[in-house]
Amino acid sequence: MKKLMLIVAVAAIGFAANAQSTQADQKSDKKSKKNSEMKMKEHVCTAGCKDGKHMYAHGEKGHVCTDECKKMK
């Protein structure tokens, strides 16, 4: 019985420790929500669009952020 109570107590402490989040985690969550909720503009063709292949700018519908795009922010 004592072992069972010890296991339950250790599990409860483990769950409580994982439930805590830092301010950095909360800030990054807010940033990701803001970026995902950003209103997307319609695509406007530029000089980069050739032969039916479009170059989507950040914030346009169809754009997918890459590592280089994230560096520019």
pLDDT, averaged per 10 consecutive residues of the chain (73 residues), comes to: 93 81 61 60 86 83 80 67
Verify that 55 and 27 share a domain, yes or no. no
Q: Which domain holds residue 59?
A: 38-73
Note whether 73 and 42 are same-domain residues.
yes
pLDDT reported for residue 27: 60
- Whether 27 and 45 share a structural domain: no
Burial 22-53 (b: 16+ CB within 10 A, else e): eeeeeeeeeeeeeeeeeeeeeeeeeeeeeeee
Do 47 and 28 contact (CB within 8 A), yes or no? no
Mark whether 5 and 17 lie in a shared domain.
Answer: yes
Instruction: Give ∠ CA 29-32-37 in degrees, rounded to 5.
Output: 125
Question: Residue type at 30?
Answer: K
Please give the model's pTM, rounded to 2 decimal places.
0.39
Instruction: Note whether 42 and 67 are same-domain residues.
Output: yes
Sign of CA dihedral 55, 61, 66, 69: positive
